[in-house]
Structure 1
Amino acid sequence: MELTQELDEDWWEVEALFDLCFAPGREALSSYRLRDGVDPVAELCRVAREDGILSGAIRAWPVRISGHSAALIGPVAVHPTHQGEGLGGAMIRDVVARGAEIGWHRMLLVGDAPYYGRFGFSRLDDVIMPPPTNPERVLGFGDWTGVRGNVVRAAAAGAPPAHQAGGNPVS
């Protein structure tokens, strides 16, 4: 399995994987409202391929919480033929490590605490995702000391544009 940065030419193949792995209407979730019109963090958008075939994908988006930046991780998808092999965990660990390397000291996601807790994520009681997000599923990794409030789109909060890397990263 090879894990690389998602490129522009991967976009639609990744979208097809997300459609396969998630219920119809996934784009109606509150986390998608935070992504609308905002470039993803290119270095944290990764694809996993085996023999050139897409097996998994993960993306991350800049958000703001009361003036603080964070990377909102998601979606995370593993093709059904590779579920249960540890690929999702490998992608999470990769994004967390890469994020730390490039200065994303806070990561946020909406998910199951027992699963993501294995990777160092814990519940964020004072960070509020747009409704109808279940507050018990709002999880964070990194330094959240003193960070509290509503999660908003990075563009709406005047955050700098997403990081750019070499090659043709997702934009």
Structure 2
Amino acid sequence: MTSLPLTIRHELPADAAAIERLHERAFGPGRFARTAFRLREGVPPDANLTFAAHVGTFLVGSIRVTPVSAGGSTALMLGPLTVDPAFEGRGIGAALMNRSIEAARAAGSDLIMLVGDAPYYARFGFRPIPPGQLVLPGPADPARFLALELVEGVLAQRKGAVMAYRQSV
């Protein structure tokens, strides 16, 4: 396998159309009905924690992180993490995850949540959230509702609803 000249940088507005096409290919039209999508709907991702991966000028992956309210405190909802199918299995998703987690830690965030495949995300430190502790605004498999504590013990302090985070103006 040859080495890819991979560049990871903050997502730019010019990336939006390519990222949307990538999401469409990866998740299909059903993505709009998913609980995690509905939670992020109408709330822009945090530009400081959102990255795009390129090989040359070709966008091959994307990760977005959106602020949410979890049990009345601010947290982050990671996703979607998407890699172009032609580039899967080459570490691009892991590179995007690591970059985003590092940025969240540097920004002083204390909790990142996601809905995803537990075996994949466990290698980054994500663990299942105890059922009923935090409640999403729609159906999700409890085994796929995961959290990464950036501050030890913070998850135990969060109880209640997970909702879209909207800053007051």
SS at match of 1:119: coil
What is the match of residue 131 of structure 1?
138
How far apart are residue 34 of structure 1 and its match? 1.4
- Displaced runs of 4 or more, over 4 A: none
How far apart are residue 160 of structure 1 and its match? 6.2
Once residues 168 and 120 of structure 2 are traced to their aligned partners in structure 1, the CA distance between those partners, rounded to angstroms, is 31
1:107 pairs with 2:119: no
Please tell me the root mean square deviation across aligned C-alpha atoms, in Å. 1.4
Contact 2:75–2:110, Cα closer than 8 Å, also in 1: yes
Deviation string, structure 1 residues 91-126 (Cα, Å, up to 9, x no partner):
111111100001211100001111100000001111
Question: Any unmatched runs of 5+ in structure 2?
Answer: 1-5
- The TM-score normalised by the length of structure 1 is 0.88
Greater relative contact order: 1 or 2 (C-alpha under 8 angstroms, separation 6 or more)?
1
What is the match of residue 144 of structure 1?
155
1:154 pairs with 2:165: yes
- 1:5-84 matches, within 5 Å, as 5-84=10-89
- The TM-score normalised by the length of structure 2 is 0.89
Q: Which segment drifts farther, 1-10 or 37-46?
A: 37-46
SS at match of 1:44: coil
Percentage of pairs with the same residue = 35
How far apart are residue 68 of structure 1 and its match? 1.1
Contact 1:129–1:135, Cα closer than 8 Å, also in 2: no
* Pair 1:82–1:160, CA change in 2 (3 A): farther
